């Protein structure tokens, strides 16, 4: 089959299955299978697709029809201009989290700091910070052993293995070192709201990395309490939070001896991250 017709057919199938990004998804999946750029697909639309490649493509499209995220189908997700390896043991990195990176880098540019990333997942936050803060080092912890294995692979792929460590740890049991920066994107969705998530998220991404308990703040609270013991005086705590959680989290931080240094709004004007300093 001709490449152009292959993409068109897949796009129609996805559209008929209520995939809003049908054309983009069809192109990304095929370009990944072929090992070429999307631009290549556009310029080589008369190329003949082999039967073997077509079978792989059709299988991948069937996975997308079931609402499996494209990132899991192709095994990677772009974040801060890097392709991070992801799988169903890790959350898919989101553009909103890049806002946290921007804010942190502006505080620590050209400084040598020690970083702890709580609930590191694929390692995208810690590794991106180390990429930008080239004199720094850091540790990422996560309760999931498969997630930690993925983060280690990403650290090697980015040439940051020597400046990063990734360890399987329950947050409550971690008590090693003192840090200039503690960063976390903890689970912050309330248990009752999990059912409202899109099928892409609800059926495929790790629930343990999404479920924040009854009010969505169970893990946020634990990060704040744990940071009290691990953060240097004057150090920064940077947390990503959910919609309509700002006032409660700001109050918790104040109660625990933190002073707010900054916050970032997401693309819907919700406070997505708070950065505070230990008094």
Residue 75 lies in a domain: no
Instruction: Give the per-residue pLDDT at 130.
Output: 98
Length of the chain: 279
Mean pLDDT of the region 236-246: 94
pLDDT tens-digit series, residues 131-176: 999 999 999 999 999 999 999 999 999 999 999 999 999 998 999 8
Structural domain ending residue among the three candidates 34, 66, 98? 66
CA distances from 230 to 40, 115, 139, 152 (A): 49, 10, 12, 23
Q: What per-residue confidence (pLDDT) applies to 184?
A: 97
pTM greater than 0.85:
yes
User: Domain check: are 201 and 227 in the same one?
Assistant: yes
pLDDT, position 267:
83
Domain-located, residue 72: no
Give yes or no for residue 1 having a pLDDT over 80.
Answer: no
Are residue 55 and residue 131 in the same domain, yes or no? no
Instruction: Quickly state the pLDDT bin for 47 (edges 50, 70, 90).
Output: confident
Specify the pLDDT at position 268. Answer: 85
Alpha-carbon radius of gyration of the chain: 20
Note whether 164 and 227 are same-domain residues: yes
Same domain, residue pair 143 and 32: no
Q: Percent of the chain scored above 70 by pLDDT?
A: 100
> 174 with 61, same domain?
no
Domain shared by 17 and 87, yes or no: no
Q: Which among 263, 233, 231, 234 has a CA at the least distance from the CA of 247?
A: 263
Does any domain span residue 154?
A: yes
**Residue 140 and residue 50 in one domain:** no
Residue 57 confidence (pLDDT): 97
- Work out the average pLDDT over 195-208: 92
d(Cα 28, Cα 7) in Å, to the nearest integer? 10
Which range is least confidently modeled, 38-47, 53-62, 214-223? Answer: 38-47
Query: What is the residue range of 40's domain?
Result: 3-66
59 shares its domain with 84? no
Residue 190 has a CB neighbour count (10 Å cut-off) of 18
Rounded to an integer, the average pLDDT of 263-273 is 89
**What is residue 52's three-state secondary structure?**
helix
CATH code at position 231: 3.40.50.150
Asked if residue 143 belongs to a domain, the reply is yes
């Amino acid at each position: 089959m001709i490449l152009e017709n292959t993409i068109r057919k897949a796009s129609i199938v996805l559209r008929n299955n209520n995939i809003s990004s049908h054309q983009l998804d069809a192109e990304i999946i095929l370009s990944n299978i072929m090992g070429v750029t999307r631009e290549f697909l556009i310029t080589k639309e008369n190329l003949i697709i082999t039967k073997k490649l077509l079978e792989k493509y059709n299988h991948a499209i069937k996975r997308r029809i079931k609402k499996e995220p494209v990132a899991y189908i192709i095994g990677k997700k772009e974040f801060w201009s890097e392709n991070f390896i992801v799988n169903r043991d890790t959350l898919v990195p989101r553009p909103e989290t890049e806002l946290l990176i921007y804010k942190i880098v502006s505080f620590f540019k050209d400084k040598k700091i020690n970083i702890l990333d709580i609930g590191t997942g694929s390692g995208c936050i810690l590794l991106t910070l180390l990429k930008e803060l080239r004199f720094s080092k850091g540790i990422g912890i996560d309760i999931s052993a498969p997630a930690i294995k993925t983060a280690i692979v990403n650290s090697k792929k980015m040439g940051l293995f020597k400046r990063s460590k990734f360890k399987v740890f329950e947050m409550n049991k971690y008590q090693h070192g003192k840090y200039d920066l503690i960063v976390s994107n903890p689970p912050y969705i309330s248990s009752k709201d999990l059912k409202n998530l899109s099928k892409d998220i609800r059926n495929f991404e790790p629930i343990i990395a999404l479920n924040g308990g009854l009010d969505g703040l169970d893990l946020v609270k634990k990060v704040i309490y744990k940071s009290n013991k691990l953060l240097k005086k004057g150090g920064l705590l940077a947390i990503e939070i959910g919609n309509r959680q700002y006032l409660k989290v700001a109050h918790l931080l104040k109660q625990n001896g933190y002073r707010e240094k900054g916050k970032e709004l997401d693309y819907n004007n919700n406070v997505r991250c708070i950065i505070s300093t230990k008094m």
